[in-house]
Structure 1
Amino acid sequence: MDSTDPWETIGRLAEHFAAWDDARGMAREEQWSLQILKLAEEVGEAAQAVIGARGTNPRKGHSHSWEDVRDEVADCVITGMVALARLLGDQARPHFDAVLAQKSAAFLPGPEDA
């Protein structure tokens, strides 16, 4: 893959999955709904990896590593970005940037606070 821009790759993934769902005759809202459910599934896998890394399931013990947790969190981020791209197309990046700016302003000190 030539691009270092993750949003370009995310856009290509979103288009690929949309084309696949289109070929199966799925309506857009159904596609979007299933993509959000996929995100929920990935978050569940991250949670399962944390439980396994902590060894808190007595039946499974230490079934995962913290590297597994990192990989699952990355899957959550990728799946979330793909979901946003499927919902917003080319407007996914500016929307993400705006929401990130809003959220970070609420938690990070501004220049006047430094």
Structure 2
Amino acid sequence: MRDNDPWETVRSLATHFTEFDAERGLAPEEQWTLQVLKLSEEVGEAAQAVLGVRAVNPRKGRSHSWEQVQEEVVDAVITGMVTLTRMRPDDAADFFATVLAEKAGKFLPPGDTTTITSR
């Protein structure tokens, strides 16, 4: 297990991108909108990588590996975490943990869920 808290890194990234967009004169809601669009782009790149690993495009053949797909999925997850943190800078990790517990509770049998806590 790693010692560093991923949410700390995410908070730093969110702060950096928020400051950058503020310097460009973008209002918070506009920043959030563009960040959600960025998230959509990252998910699209993961989908594109799956098409590449499955050799769907006959012109390109097998253009990706499953490891590249996994990296694209991580990019989408990171972007999602940064997006949430930009929208909820004070409680993103707690909000994430709450929603995760609610969603997991719909699919996992009682007793199989672990208590989720944020740092």
TM-score (norm 2): 0.90
What's 1:38 paired with?
A: 38
- Equivalent-residue separation in structure 2 for 1:84 and 1:54 (angstroms): 31
Task: Please list every run of 5 or more consecutive structure 1 residues that lacks an aligned counterpart in the other structure.
Answer: none
Output aligned runs, 1:31-70, within 5 Å: 31-70=31-70
**Count of matched residue pairs:** 110
Q: TM-score, normalised by structure 1?
A: 0.94
The 2-side partners of 1:69 and 1:18 are apart by: 28
Local SS of the residue matching 1:58: coil
CA distance in 2, matches of 1:53, 1:67: 10
Shift of 1:111: 1.9
Mapped to 2, the partners of 1:98 and 1:77 lie a distance apart of 17
**What residue in structure 2 maps to residue 13 of structure 1?**
13
Q: Deviations over 1:27-58 (max 9, x none)?
A: 11000000000000000000000000011111
Question: How far does residue 100 in structure 1 lie from its aligned partner after superposition?
Answer: 0.2
Structure 1 segments (4+ residues) deviating >3 Å: none
Same amino acid, percent of matched pairs: 60
* Paired letter, 2:70: R
Shift of 1:90: 1.9
User: What's the secondary structure of 1:63's corresponding residue?
Assistant: coil
Give the Cα separation in 2 of the matches to 1:77 and 1:27: 24
Equivalent position of 2:83 in the other structure: 83
Shift in Å, 1:78: 0.1
CA RMSD in angstroms, aligned pairs only: 1.1
Instruction: Give the Å deviation of 1:61.
Output: 0.8
Paired with 1:5 and 1:81, the residues of 2 have a C-alpha distance of 13
In structure 1, how many angstroms separate the alpha carbons of the residues matched to 2:70 and 2:60?
Answer: 19
Q: Cα distance, 1:60 vs. partner?
A: 1.0
Question: Residue in 2 aligned with 1:98?
Answer: 98
Distance 1:31 1:99 in 2: 23
- Greater fraction of residues in helix: 1
1:109 aligns with 2:83: no
Amino acid at match of 1:42: E
